[in-house]
Amino acid sequence: MIAEILVWSILVAQILLVLAMGCAVYRMLKGPRAQDRVLGLDTLYVNATMLLLTFGIRTASILYFEAALIIALLGFVSTAALAKFLMRGEVIE
């Protein structure tokens, strides 16, 4: 029963997170400005980190931790690059 609750709540949490990702993707698709799209991508990365963590719980496996760690550590690099491009027209000067 308890396990059942856990299973379901993980599922619900994941669905919530995926919906959150959907919101982010909406911004990526819709814009209207480039900064909105970048913001969407950044949000998508954050949400994906959490999705991976919930997935770890769901499968009781810590093997997916590294992927989440990498997103947290390096996911910002691409968004930072995009922001730099918007501000300076060039990523590396």
Please report, as residue ranges, which positions from 12 to 31 form the binding site for another protein (by CB under 8 A): 12-29, 31
Region class of 90: left (phi > 0), else alpha (psi between -120 and 50), else beta: beta
How many residues bind another protein (CB under 8 A)? The answer is 90
Least gap, CB of 44 to another protein (angstroms): 6
Residue closest to 49 by CA, chosen among 26, 17, 79, 12: 17
Binding to another protein (CB under 8 A) within 33-72 occurs at 33-72
Least gap, CB of 70 to another protein (angstroms): 5
CA distance 44 to 38: 10
Which residues neighbour 24 within 8 Å (Cβ) at sequence distance 6 or greater?
40, 41, 43, 44, 47
Least gap, CB of 46 to another protein (angstroms): 5
Least gap, CB of 49 to another protein (angstroms): 7
